[in-house]
Structure 1
């Protein structure tokens, strides 16, 4: 009898071993393996398991099934032997009803042992410590996989055939890659746990948004482009370059819609203290045009490939709608970059109280929404708060005009002939 009891305990432990293995290899990420473990036979075995995750899951399922069948077979015998032995120790003659219900008693006892010690406990441990558990089970699991490979291959092949009938692609390996939304959740949880700080979270969020940003959303609009007329005298050209402080400026003929080149400030240095005549056509560089629908992730690669820092943004009719620089693109991830020559930082939002905000209407909707408790509606037809208001009203409003936008009451507080410059937002509950 002692041997049967020990065999039952061994089978329960064996069941727990394969349950732990199953949950651990599913929970383990390949990045944990690569970062925390040096090269060796254990790491190679773990890598082999993760690369064939579907097959190894089939192996654990096969092992668990085999163990449970064995427990079911031997459980009745062991339970009856234990009952009879206890009755013998107590010098008690058990009635036939007790021995007749050995199957039911065995079911209750075996279920309890299996669920607690063979499933729940090993599952909790493996989920809590997936790497340590995988390292512990790796070699025995690989040995079981090798021995029963023909059976596993057959069972897994039939199972894959069945799920393909339902239009589901079988898992080819450790395909547990996180989606962007899942990564955002992981990052938010990491912030709450203190693993990363809010500045790092903001930077990562910017990287995610970078993929979906277009030249139109990042460019300096046409009305704010500072350029040089090809017909200007040398003195006016130099004065403009010094006043504006840019390292590169577009050169146009007659109007900003006819940009014909880009002049570098460094190329004008030779003319600053010289009597030499300045001919902009001889020193200006070719213009690089991009459509307003150009993704900035593609544009930055083109900047790197062509070794340029500036492009002119055009609409579908070839008209100039803006200017975009390498610095503008970099600022989409890292925020505004200022040097000693830049003006004081423009305030996008001034918080009056928890429900009221003064907002720079020329600012990007995306930038404003990052700072508001409730977002303003975004749309492909506008990029700024001013554009949103003009889109809603269909005309240029007057100071003091009010309108409802999203969850806010908007009051126009400042405007120019070009558009709205300053608004007050009041959150409506």
Structure 2
């Protein structure tokens, strides 16, 4: 055959190999979620791609048969077609015994480079750009190719399956989606601009509900405002005016003797109707939902959904009330500043780019978000920043006590009756070596 005919055949072989490489990567990389959406919308080809992914052995066997056959045939034709011309070129400069070897190497390099570039690298990169669209476009011709290669593919698959069983290799594909997979998709969406920063933060918070303990969002015991059965009317009015809560616990004498709760709306209705509220009774006291303090926020949300309640008392293992939590508290955890009342005291105040004033009761998850820290040391042993300080110092902290971790310095600023009220967190900025040397000198 002439050089022109050989070149035409090689171009056809490269095109065939490129098509197979494009198809192989597209079908392997096509995401099932997108394909299912297209199939549910009525695209039959998307369903065919899904079926092929479920039973991909015949396709991959046929693909490898085609790719290897084309590559070998292309190498044979290319070497025979180009070597004489390279030999003529080489003999103009060199006529020794290595001329044949050099011309063969040049011919082999040219053909191999053409196949790598046009039949492997470029098709695979194109397939990764839009695998779902490409897999749907090529599904019909590739099924015809699979039928043509099916007899030889069956033999090859039989041998491969025998070897897999012999070496006890599990060939079942795991399609379980983990939180890490979803998190990676969210990060990619945020980097691509599909998800806004705030939306990304919301989604992360939703998944963290399973990990965050009820302590991270509840109103703690010392901050719980409650009524007693014999609460004077003036005291009730004063608490309603001073604390804008919608629900209040009702206890016998102490907070640990919980009877139920009252809705502030019910009491205000009685006041507007000029009815006496000298004594709380069954008409106003409702049964309170009690939950253990070991629950996660996700489990608390399930309890609220099952009981149709939005308010619960949190009880520890000694049957003591450690706090109260509402549905609004959980929503604030998810939505953050978007639903936090403006007048509510902020737990994290950014002073400048390198320092923060933080309340000791701030949940550790909020600290990690604010400071950009992935993990705190042994964080399963505490829930708040105050707990972190006590765990690290192994004592009740005093003002000026500090801990350094993750490139930050955590310093106690204010302590009230052994309770850490405020901490100053500063970023540790390393000084340049030249400045350190000048100070030492």
* TM-score normalised by structure 2 residue count: 0.80
Mapped partners of 1:142, 1:194: distance in 2: 37
Q: Is 1:249 matched up with 2:252?
A: no
SS in structure 2 at match of 1:169: coil
Q: Map of 1:172-211 to 2, 5 A cutoff?
A: 172=173, 175=175, 179-211=178-210
Contact preservation (8 Å) 1:250, 1:262: yes
Mapped partners of 1:153, 1:252: distance in 2: 77
Mapped partners of 1:102, 1:132: distance in 2: 43
Structure 1 stretches of 5 or more lacking a match? 88-93
C-alpha deviation, 1:141, in angstroms:
1.0
Mapped partners of 2:242, 2:416: distance in 1: 23
Q: Map of 1:316-355 to 2, 5 A cutoff?
A: 316-336=317-337, 338=339, 344-355=343-354
Partner of 1:356: 355
Contact preservation (8 Å) 1:365, 1:378: no
Contact preservation (8 Å) 1:263, 1:280: no
Mapped partners of 1:393, 1:411: distance in 2: 11
* Cα distance, 1:181–1:275 mapped onto 2, change above 3 Å: closer
Structure 2 stretches of 5 or more lacking a match? 89-94, 431-441
SS in structure 1 at match of 2:137: helix
SS in structure 1 at match of 2:381: coil
Mapped partners of 1:41, 1:229: distance in 2: 68
* Cα distance, 1:58–1:222 mapped onto 2, change above 3 Å: farther
C-alpha deviation, 1:368, in angstroms:
2.3
Contact preservation (8 Å) 2:213, 2:294: yes
Mapped partners of 1:196, 1:136: distance in 2: 29
Q: Is 1:426 matched up with 2:431?
A: no
C-alpha deviation, 1:64, in angstroms:
1.3
Q: Deviations over 1:285-324 (max 9, x none)?
A: 2232222221221221221122111222222232222212
* Cα distance, 1:359–1:54 mapped onto 2, change above 3 Å: farther
Partner of 1:43: 46
Contact preservation (8 Å) 2:36, 2:47: no
Contact preservation (8 Å) 1:348, 1:368: no
Of 5, 15, 18, the residue aligned with 1:16 is 18
Mapped partners of 2:117, 2:238: distance in 1: 83
Q: Is 1:59 matched up with 2:58?
A: no
Contact preservation (8 Å) 1:25, 1:53: no
C-alpha deviation, 1:282, in angstroms:
4.6
Question: Mean Cα displacement is larger for which, 213-222 or 232-241?
Answer: 232-241
Mapped partners of 2:100, 2:388: distance in 1: 82
Partner of 2:433: none
Partner of 2:387: 387
C-alpha deviation, 1:19, in angstroms:
0.8
C-alpha deviation, 1:125, in angstroms:
2.0
Partner of 2:417: 417
Q: Is 1:169 matched up with 2:159?
A: no
* TM-score normalised by structure 1 residue count: 0.82
